[in-house]
């Protein structure tokens, strides 16, 4: 039996512009922007375990390059904070 481990990934931020920037950076993973209460979310199609590493690296690069202070990353219901590099 071949089982593919895929995780649901959701990235939330306070600004629509940041969410759109993140979505553009993660376009290869099917990121689409959605309004979530007062926040904005980028929902990704479920990446496989090896792809998740690339998703997180691309997200970190996006935060650093675009001066995005921080985002909340939820993977399979577990929430984490990711911070960009201060400029």
- Domain range summary for the chain, segments of one domain joined by +: 9-83
Assess contact for 16 and 33: CB atoms under 8 A.
Answer: yes
Mean pLDDT of 69-85: 93
Per-residue model confidence as pLDDT tens digits over 24-41: 999 988 888 999 999 999
Instruction: State yes or no: pLDDT of 57 exceeds 70.
Output: yes
Question: Which class does domain 9-83 fall in?
Answer: alpha beta
Distance CA 56, CA 78 (A): 15
Please state, in angstroms and rounded to a whole number, the distance separating the CA atoms of residues 58 and 22.
Answer: 9
What does the pLDDT read at residue 5?
52
Sign of the alpha-carbon torsion through 64, 83, 78, 3: positive
pTM of the full structure: 0.85
């Amino acid at each position: 039996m071949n089982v593919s481990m895929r995780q649901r990934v959701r990235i939330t931020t306070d600004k629509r512009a940041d969410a759109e920037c993140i979505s553009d950076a993660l376009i290869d993973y099917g990121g689409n922007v959605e309004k979530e209460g007062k926040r904005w979310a980028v929902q990704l199609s479920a990446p496989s375990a090896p792809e998740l590493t690339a998703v997180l690296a691309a997200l970190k690069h996006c935060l650093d390059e675009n001066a995005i202070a921080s985002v909340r990353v939820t993977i399979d219901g577990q929430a984490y904070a990711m911070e960009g590099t201060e400029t």
